[in-house]
Amino acid sequence: MADDVTFDGVCFAIGAQAALGDPNTDIYGVAGTIDESHGCVLGIRDAGDAESGVTLPTLARVGSEKAPAGYTQQPTTRFRTDVTGLSIAIEMKGNGDTTSTPAGLGEAKPLAGTDGDECVHALWLSAGFYGEDGAAPTYVYTPASDPTYATIKLFVGDQAWIFEDCLSNVTIDLTPGGIGIATFSFEVGSLYSQSDGLTFPDVTYGSQTDQSAPVVQGASTHVWNQNRGFNTYSLSVNNNLERIPDSNQATGERVILASRGITLSSTMWIDSDDSDFEYEELIRETITATTGTVQVGTAAGDGALVNAYKIEMETPEVTSIKYNRLGSALVVETEQKAVGASSGSEFTLTFN
């Protein structure tokens, strides 16, 4: 009997595509001695499968059934292999660089690989965001009007799969006294190729390994109407991804972004100077002017380490509230959704 195949690990690499049906050739060719510049993303140990941060996908045969011979099922006519369940959970943190003096434009952009469209940056693009330089050195993501498809290469042991035309949803969970975790869940357009008998790559991850993520703590971390802390915080970007027939695609289908919903569930302490603020937001008849902001880590100035980010629900609509207690304090559980008067104005994620 042949020896068992050694489990050498999991390696996840991602890059943006120029267009639907046009896989990223740099990601396609990833192999050998590689690092974050090749698009490799490091997951967190306590999520996913095999302590990798990656939830490995389920591969399913899709086809049509022929009429049975008596009670004996006949082999199906195979259409394609569907790929479901692929996700990766990563730490929320900066790129680990040190800014110039004075700080330059875009120096806080998340890790983006050699060509600027890979690695962590490509994850945010796949989740329906558009990125651009903000005030130096910040890099700013806002909801995009058109999706950016991504190519993923996934190594597991001696096998590798290439997935193309991928889009994602993302959830950001912030734990007070802990760190922020972003989980990207993918809708895979198609399985481009599979191979086996490979040598697992020799991977290094740079600042993804050697730099700690900023801790969710400190004065003015959360500001909404006033400075006040939250006990729980979970933000979801749901792009309502759908798979629809398209005869010109390799598998006769394409994934589309049907609609987008950005929602926030949180529990926070009541502002003692305005104890019914959340109720007034619940019943208001016009769009709010009060942005909810979370700053995690210290924004980089000149010659400083880049390791912070800011989340802004720009003009949130409160959809429900529930009062509760934590210890002797009154708290409020809120459900909010990001709304805006113009396209892309409802939400901002800034790496600073």
Write out pLDDT tens, residues 208-243: 999 999 999 999 999 999 999 999 999 999 999 988
Whole-number pLDDT of residue 332: 97
Give me the mean pLDDT over the 143-160 stretch.
95
| pLDDT band (50, 70, 90) for residue 3 | low
* Overall domain count for the chain: 1
Residue 67 lies in a domain: no
The model's pLDDT over 271-305, given as tens digits with 9 standing for 90+, comes to 889 999 999 999 999 999 999 999 999 999 999 99
What is the reported pTM?
A: 0.96
The model's pLDDT over 305-328, given as tens digits with 9 standing for 90+, comes to 999 999 999 999 999 999 999 999
- Of the CA atoms within 13 Å of residue 57, those in its CB half-sphere come to 25
Residue 64 lies in a domain: no
Residue 53 lies in a domain: yes
CA distance 124 to 67: 46
Label residue 47 left, alpha or beta by phi (over 0 means left) and psi (-120 to 50 means alpha): beta
CA distance 25 to 128: 21
CA distance 109 to 64: 47
Residue 238 lies in a domain: yes
The answer to whether the beta carbons of residues 337 and 347 sit under 8 Å apart is: no
Quick check: 1 pLDDT over 90?
no
Give me the mean pLDDT over the 120-141 stretch.
98
| Residue partners of 246: CB distance under 8 A and separation at least 6 | 252, 253, 254
CA distance 232 to 261: 20
Q: Taking the CB of residue 6, how many other CB atoms lie within 10 A of it?
A: 9
The model's pLDDT over 152-176, given as tens digits with 9 standing for 90+, comes to 999 999 999 999 999 999 999 999 9
Residue 96 lies in a domain: yes
Whole-number pLDDT of residue 90: 98
The label of the residue with tokens 């589309």 reads 256
- DSSP run (H or E) holding 281: helix 277-283
Task: Give the residue numbers spanning the domain of 125.
Answer: 10-59+79-351
Q: Do β-strands 180-187 and 253-257 pair in parallel, antiparallel, or remain unpaired?
A: unpaired
Residue 3 lies in a domain: no
Whole-number pLDDT of residue 216: 98
Residue 65 lies in a domain: no
Residue 214 lies in a domain: yes
